[in-house]
Amino acid sequence: MYPSSRQQLRQSLRQQRRNLTPQQQAQHAKAIRNHFCLHRNLQQAKHIGIYLAQAGEADLSRLIRYLWRKQRHCYLPCLHSIKPRQLLFVAYTPQTPLVANRLGILEPRNKRPISLKQLDIILMPLVAFDAYGNRLGMGGGFYDYTLAAYKHRFNRQAPKLIGVAHSFQQVSHLTAQRWDVGLNAILTEQRIITRNSHGY
């Protein structure tokens, strides 16, 4: 896919995401939480990288409340104060004070990160995905930079990467760029799409 069509795809899908009604968003949030709860591998995750939805991204707030009730540990991405596109994952509990970062996204005020190796899974937002686990994000390359060391998964401790999306964000095929880090699975309001039959 040429850069211009990647940009066009981003624009049109971001608009569709923003056009969802609050009712549709709430319905998707509930369905996504239910799929997560019923999936054996996801259920077992103890340390979970997660995100706070913005601009129509699939909303995980219900799932976060469920995970807190089940004593799971959630971590939010924060911008690194020096390295421009690096994300740090910082513990997120109901008591965590949040502040808006330079992109206007809320993140924990106290940036004491955990090592990525300690995360079992990372749930990440996306703009488009395909059935092969290719991900198109907002275009900042934040997740690609942050996860570059795990691109080839030689490291068995690597967290499983789970894209979260509305089902209309699926496209037939995305061409992965050399830096793109692929997903193990995609969670939508309709189903969980995995790249093999074993669950991830």
189, burial (CB in 10 Å: exposed 0-12, middle 13-18, buried 19+): buried
- For residue 50, the minimal CB distance to ligand ATP (Å) is 15
Shortest Cβ distance from residue 136 to ligand ATP (Å)?
Answer: 5
Size of the site for ligand ATP (CB under 6 A): 14
Q: Give the range of 26-34, 65-73, 132-140, 160-168 binding ligand ATP by CB under 6 A.
A: 132-140
144 binds Mg ion (CB under 5 A): yes
107 binds Mg ion (CB under 5 A): no
Q: Residue 108 or residue 163: which is nearer to ligand ATP going by CB?
A: 163
Would you list the DSSP string of 102-119? TTS-EEESS--EEPGGG-
140 forms part of the interface with ligand ATP (CB under 6 A): yes
Q: Does 180 bind Mg ion (CB under 5 A)?
A: yes
Alpha-carbon span 67 to 79, nearest angstrom:
23
Structure tokens at 47: 């340390």
Rounded-to-integer distance, Cα 178 and Cα 55, Å? 28
Q: Distance between CA 102 and CA 23 in Å, rounded? A: 30
The alpha carbon of residue 93 and the mean position of all alpha carbons in its chain are separated, in whole angstroms, by: 18
CA distance 80 to 140: 14
Q: Which residue is closest to ligand ATP by CB?
A: 137
- Contact call for residue 138 and ligand ATP (CB under 6 A): yes
Question: For 83, which DSSP code?
Answer: S
Nearest approach, Cβ of residue 125 and ligand ATP (Å): 7
- Under the criterion CB under 5 A, does residue 130 sit at the interface with Mg ion? no
Under the criterion CB under 6 A, does residue 143 sit at the interface with ligand ATP?
Answer: yes
Report whether 123 contacts 187 (CB < 8 A): yes
Tell me which of 20, 60, 88, 136 binds ligand ATP, using CB under 6 A: 136
Using an 8 Å Cβ cutoff, are 170 and 115 in contact? no
Asked whether the beta carbons of 123 and 32 are under 8 A apart, the reply is: no
Q: Is residue 137 part of the contact set for ligand ATP (CB under 6 A)?
A: yes
Smallest distance from ligand ATP to CB 71, Å: 30
177 makes contact with ligand ATP (CB under 6 A): yes
Binding segment for ligand ATP (CB under 6 A), chosen from 51-59, 89-97, 130-138, 183-191, is 130-138
Residues lying near Mg ion in the complex (CB under 5 A): 144, 180
